[in-house]
Amino acid sequence: MEVLASSSLSPIFTKPNTLNPNFSIQVKLFVSQPSKTLKASSFRYPRNPSRSNANPGLVFVCNRYLCLLERNDHRKFSGKFMMKSSVSFRKNVSVALVRLVSVLLVSSISVVTTDSPSWGLSEENLLFLEAWRTIDRAYIDKTFNGQSWFRYRESALRNEPMNNREETYMAIKKMIATLDDPFTRFLEPGKFQSLRSGTQGAVTGVGLSIGYPPASEGSAAGLVVISAAPGGPAYRAGVSAGDVLLGIDDTTTETLTIYDAAQMLQGPEGSTVELAIRSGPETRVLSLTRERVSVNPVKSRLCELPGSGSNSPKIGYIKLTTFNQNASGAVKEAIETLRGNNVNAFVLDLRDNSGGSFPEGIEIAKFWLDKGVIVYICDSRGVRDIYDTDGSNAIATSEPLAVLVNKGTASASEILAGALKDNKRALVYGEPTYGKGKIQSVFQLSDGSGLAVTVARYETPAHTDIDKVGVTPDHPLPKSFPKDEEAFCGCLKDPTAACYLNQGLLFSR
């Protein structure tokens, strides 16, 4: 599917901000008058009880921040007198201080707005400030790519035109561009709804998940195909992971973000779109008809291998294609059904699974682990959160497990594969994964638009940062190893097949 929630996001949707995003009160208390000396005439000296109360031996010395009680004749209080007069002393000091503070408070309170300029703000300004504040609170890099985020806000409100919604959207996009983060972006209302529908199970398009070329490919032109949804238009046309999308209709993808490209790939059911695809040295133009691609996240199969009678090995095969809101429930159902058939081992196929909902990935990991860390969530200061499990949700912790991955395995899929590998729960087969180690949350703004914001990066339980590197498998798979469940079983059964994989070695360390 072309909604890159599935390949580049781990969406956590938040409700619109119900607070006024622009106004807060700050009370500033200060003494505007110069420091001065106040006489304290209500104290007596112990060495001369008959001395007049008007003697200025005790004074209040005040500066801008506090007042101190001092003597100005360099004599010392006797301990005996101080004990006798302590109650009177405290009473008089308290009264004097209360009066002083009251006067200063009345004369020196200043009310300011801390999150908006002092001039009047339009509705468009308020929307811009709402977006600014969302990024200010959530973005992973608190240096904001080495700039003063507050100064940028002030400058934008003074200099960027925001006379209508289109101009405001442009100002928000320009602000986000200063972060130099391809995964943090603004979503107009239509794109925001498309993103939500992509995580809810269906989308109308050609069934492609796309991403940026890996760093190892330098400045390769175009966008890379992460996966093609099985049975979708692109899949039937022979598009596969690793192909390069060069153009959509008459638009080159060199200057498109993955989200703009994903939007262009979608459209009304039955409409057509032309794609320029490069597969190896060959470039071809495909005319594809958009369909409603239902994303059923799980396919499963029971593979009975040759054996003697009731002792024939049984392998439970589960293919997970995406992490939408139905994923964990579907995986749980498949595990329980296969366990009911007394399987001896499981194979979890994450090839060409470009990710999706981060919470769904966490829940699925809990099914396989009796305990342990699943993932570390890190920000610029280090680990800020730990997702782990105590085994309370485990349903399949004893059977041997193999996980299949490839370069189309990304995001939430990498979290799951890394957790199972580092906890020694599974052996990982295939090729290095895509390498998306960033997590985005999706925030809805008050006008129905939204922001996808990079809020964290993740590390596997072994503290491996897989961003732009990927999860490294334990063993490779035969190059001809199939991706569908029917052919998979055949490769375990037929020793003469080019894709044959000995089931004994599959689960052996």
Active site residue 142: no
Per the structure block, which two tokens stand in for 433?
A: 């994964």
Cα 40 to chain centroid distance, Å, stands at 61
Instruction: Give the whole-angstrom CA distance, residue 139 versus residue 145.
Output: 11
| CA dist list (Å): 402 to 346, 447, 486 | 6, 46, 17
Helix/strand/coil (H, E, C) string of 313-327? Answer: CEEEEEEECCECCCH
Catalytic residue among 366, 407, 436, 438: 436
Alpha helix segments (H runs only) across 206-357: 233-236, 258-265, 327-340
Instruction: Give the whole-angstrom CA distance, residue 88 versus residue 440.
Output: 63
Catalytic residue among 6, 227, 411, 449: 411
Handedness of CA 260, 261, 267, 271 (dihedral sign): positive
**DSSP assignments along 103-115, one per residue:** HHHHHH-EEEESS
Instruction: Give the whole-angstrom CA distance, residue 11 versus residue 132.
Output: 19
| CA dist list (Å): 101 to 31, 235, 255, 295, 296 | 9, 76, 62, 67, 69
Instruction: Give the whole-angstrom CA distance, residue 5 versus residue 9.
Output: 5
Strand pairing of 401-405 and 450-459?
Answer: unpaired
Report the half-sphere exposure of 160 (CA within 13 A, side-chain side).
23
Active site residue 436: yes
Instruction: Give the whole-angstrom CA distance, residue 494 versus residue 243.
Output: 31
Q: Annotated active-site positions, please?
A: 411, 436
